[in-house]
Amino acid sequence: MTPFDANSEPLPRRLRDGLERLASVLKADQWSAANAVGLNPTQAHVLAFLAGRGEAGLRVKAIAEHLGVTQPTATDSIAALERKGLVAKGPDASDARAVAVKVTQAGRDAVKAIGLSTMATDTALARLSAAEQADLLLLVVKLIRSLQLAGALPEQRTCVTCRHFRPNAHPGADAPHHCVFVNAAFGTRHLRLDCGEHETAEPSAQAATWRAFTEASAPLQTNR
């Protein structure tokens, strides 16, 4: 019997390689969905980001920082979206001298059309069991937080960084976590990655919340 090669590439490297392959499929999905409404992926990303930010809109700098693109790239994408009538510029709610970019109704319709697109990744994820989907979401949350702490990602509107989140407030229950904002219990599969009601907790509170979230849970938590 040929011995197993224990000296193969380290597991983190193989995981990264796998994620890169998944990313290539996601990119292809994004191109297909964006093209269906006459956009490129960056424009679609900007539009979806703005659609989730309500009526106030955001400044170009904030859009660029959150999406991890240069300000000129964000400016070009916003200009193209404005020409198509999908976004509009107006005074910033917090400073009338500044300009905020807001999504229009036509823009919201485009975001909805993109969301309804059938993607290969959606089909693949749907084939995972409910428990596997919850486990994967938990791992994604952990990766996002690690990248955010490393400065590789800007602040994300996730449950685990929100001041309304109470992890494992109901130990032993099918829905162990609690959201103070809506005063409701929920499980791992309902963790948000981009919540409109998100309010950033102080760093010390975030650290305490994360400890409570991870220490009271198994490495893979499949509670709903």
- Final residue before a domain boundary, out of 115, 147, 179: 115
For residues 22 and 116, give the distance between their C-alpha atoms in angstroms, rounded to a whole number.
20
- Domain extent for 170: 128-215
Give the 3-state secondary structure of residue 127. Answer: coil
CB atoms within 10 A of CB 126: 8
pLDDT computed for residue 14 by the predictor: 93
The predicted pLDDT at position 215 comes to: 84
Token digits of residue 140: 């994604």
How far apart CA 161 and CA 164 sit, in angstroms, is 9
Q: What is the pTM of this model?
A: 0.79
Q: pLDDT value at position 165?
A: 97
Task: Tell me whether residue 1 is in a domain.
Answer: no
How does pLDDT run across 14-40, given as a tens digit for each residue? 999 999 999 999 989 989 989 989 999
Pair (102, 135) in one structural domain: no
Eight-state DSSP code of residue 202: P
Render pLDDT for 162-213 as a digit per residue (tens, 0 to 9).
999 999 999 888 899 999 999 999 998 999 998 988 999 999 999 999 999 9
Residue finishing a domain among 91, 115, 139: 115
